[in-house]
């Protein structure tokens, strides 16, 4: 019998400028690395790549933590890895929820059997040290979970003082750095963070598929002291660390070529230098902000609490959220994100992450957005956005 169903055409995605909440534009060197010859997951060459990747991850996390590796899965797998390994059924966990990903962490903790205490703030706001301390004193949790860079809102949450508070009261701190790693300072050792997870697809400019994680000695001790098995076999650090460590005990077949990509992405980060990279993200953020302000757009997060790599702005009155994003994509090849949760239809999320954080993207986006708004009949001063951004660049040259 002949199959009459036609064979699909080859994969040929359109060229996009990825300026949403992730994934970000992938550096060409990373794509090239991922096209390299696949070897076995226990091949001496791949083991060398794993060792080098661990060393570079420690540099980017700014930690000496021995248990630092790339989980085979996306950033959400990193979240589940941290929570599942630290939490046993009945453990108390405070989760700070001020956006979608804090809510997701609370959900994961509940599925792991934790007694979850949610500390909540409206989307777009951040937590104070005082309210964290009051909650920790009251509930005495084993773990406090908090998001450093809330991708759903564009809010930047300081965590150093919160980590100190946790340790003073016998709690561990778990931190979501999915969007912040590689784009703004993440000081695991200096801030005494216990468990941190991230993703490859944001400021590291690598495709989604791996989740860098790191655990302090305190966190490792808590894992070693467990009385029950980790809920997830696949994410059990007791076994996974033996694959990434000197034992090289088989656990799962790692995504070889994704690890090539992360290896090259980390090389690029370190070649640029972390401080230089952070300054670049901040400079482009300020230029974008100046341009948007000149066009009449306002940020939905307070000044001083805004992420440089994820810019959340109120949609101006009279603008059609979906129509603008559709026009940006179809006419200019630019992707931005819409709001999530209570921010749906109210905000746009504009990413300037990793390789995508560039003056070219800022200026092209502002010019393209101006046309979209003008096409919808909004009054936008001609060229004001691009002009203001250029002035901001000249001021920081």
Query: CA 61, 65, 232: angle at the middle one, nearest 5?
Result: 95
**For position 58, which CATH number holds?**
3.40.640.10
Instruction: Tell me the mean pLDDT in the region 10-17.
Output: 96
Of the candidates 255, 271, 287, which is a domain's last residue?
A: 271
Task: Indicate if 50 and 181 belong to the same structural domain.
Answer: yes
Kindly tell me the number of DSSP H helices and DSSP E strands found in the chain: 13, 14
Q: Are residues 329 and 209 in the same domain?
A: no
The overall average pLDDT reported for the chain is: 97
Residues 309 and 260 in one domain: no
Do 325 and 235 lie in one domain? The reply is no
Cβ atoms of 153 and 312 within 8 Å: the answer is yes
Residue 125: pLDDT over 60 = yes
DSSP state of 166: H
| Structural contact between residues 113 and 142, judged by C-beta atoms closer than 8 angstroms | no
219 and 281 housed in the same domain: no
212 and 336 housed in the same domain: no
Report the alpha-carbon distance of residue 101 to residue 123 in Å, rounded.
11
Domain harbouring 327, CATH code: 3.90.1150.10
Write down the pTM of the prediction: 0.96
Q: Which residues contact 385 (CB under 8 A, 6 or more apart)?
A: 291, 292, 294, 295, 366, 367, 369, 370
243 shares its domain with 340 = no
- Does residue 1 register a pLDDT over 70? no
Please report the pLDDT score of residue 2 as a whole number.
Answer: 60
Q: Can you give the pLDDT at residue 338?
A: 98
Q: Match 């949403």 to its residue by tokens.
A: 20
The SS3 assignment for 150 reads strand
- Residues 31-88 have pLDDT tens digits of 999 999 999 999 999 999 999 999 999 999 999 999 999 999 999 999 999 999 999 9
| 254 and 383 both lie in a single domain | no
Domain count, the chain: 2
Domain ends where: 245, 271, 297?
Answer: 271
Determine the structural domain holding residue 291 and report its residue range: 274-395
Query: Do strands 334-335 and 172-176 pair parallel, antiparallel, or not at all (unpaired)?
Result: unpaired
148 with 191, same domain: the answer is yes
- Nearest residue to 375 (alpha-carbon basis) of 338, 320, 314, 329: 320
pLDDT digits (tens, 9 = 90+) for 203-226: 999 999 999 999 999 999 999 999
């Amino acid at each position: 019998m002949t199959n009459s169903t036609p064979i699909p055409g080859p994969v040929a995605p359109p060229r996009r400028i990825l300026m949403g909440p992730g994934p970000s534009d992938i550096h060409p060197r990373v794509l090239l690395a991922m096209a390299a010859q696949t070897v076995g997951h226990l091949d001496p060459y791949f083991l060398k790549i794993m060792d080098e990747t661990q060393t570079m991850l420690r540099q980017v996390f700014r930690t000496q933590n021995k248990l630092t590796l790339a989980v085979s899965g996306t950033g959400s797998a990193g979240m589940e890895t941290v929570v599942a390994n630290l939490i046993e059924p009945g453990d108390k966990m405070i989760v700070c929820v001020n956006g979608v990903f804090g809510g997701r962490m609370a959900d994961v903790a509940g599925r792991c059997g934790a007694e979850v205490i949610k500390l909540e703030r409206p989307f777009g706001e951040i937590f104070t040290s005082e309210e964290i301390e009051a909650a920790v004193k009251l509930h005495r949790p084993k773990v406090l979970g908090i998001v450093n860079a809330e991708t759903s809102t564009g809010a930047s949450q300081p965590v150093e003082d919160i980590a100190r508070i946790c340790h003073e009261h016998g709690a561990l701190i778990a931190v979501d750095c999915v969007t912040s790693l590689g784009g703004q300072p993440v000081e695991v050792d200096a801030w005494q963070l216990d468990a941190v997870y991230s993703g490859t697809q944001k400021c590291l400019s690598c495709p989604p598929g791996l989740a860098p994680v790191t655990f302090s000695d305190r966190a490792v001790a808590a894992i070693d002291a467990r009385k029950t098995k980790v809920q997830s076999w696949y994410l059990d650090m007791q076994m996974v660390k033996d694959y990434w460590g000197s034992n090289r005990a088989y656990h799962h077949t790692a995504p070889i070529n994704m690890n090539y990509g992360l290896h090259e992405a980390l090389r690029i980060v370190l070649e640029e230098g972390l401080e230089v990279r952070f300054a670049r993200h901040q400079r482009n953020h300020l230029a974008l902000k100046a341009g948007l302000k000149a066009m009449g757009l306002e940020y939905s997060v307070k000044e001083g609490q805004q992420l440089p790599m994820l810019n959340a702005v109120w949609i101006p009155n009279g603008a059609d959220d979906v129509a603008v994003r559709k026009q940006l994509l179809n006419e200019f090849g630019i992707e931005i994100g819409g709001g999530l949760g209570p921010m749906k239809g109210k905000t746009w999320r504009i990413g300037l992450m990793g390789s995508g954080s560039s003056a070219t993207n800022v200026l092209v986006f502002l010019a393209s957005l101006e046309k979209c708004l003008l096409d919808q009949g909004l009054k936008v001063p001609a060229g004001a956005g691009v002009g203001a951004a250029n002035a901001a660049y000249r001021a920081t040259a």
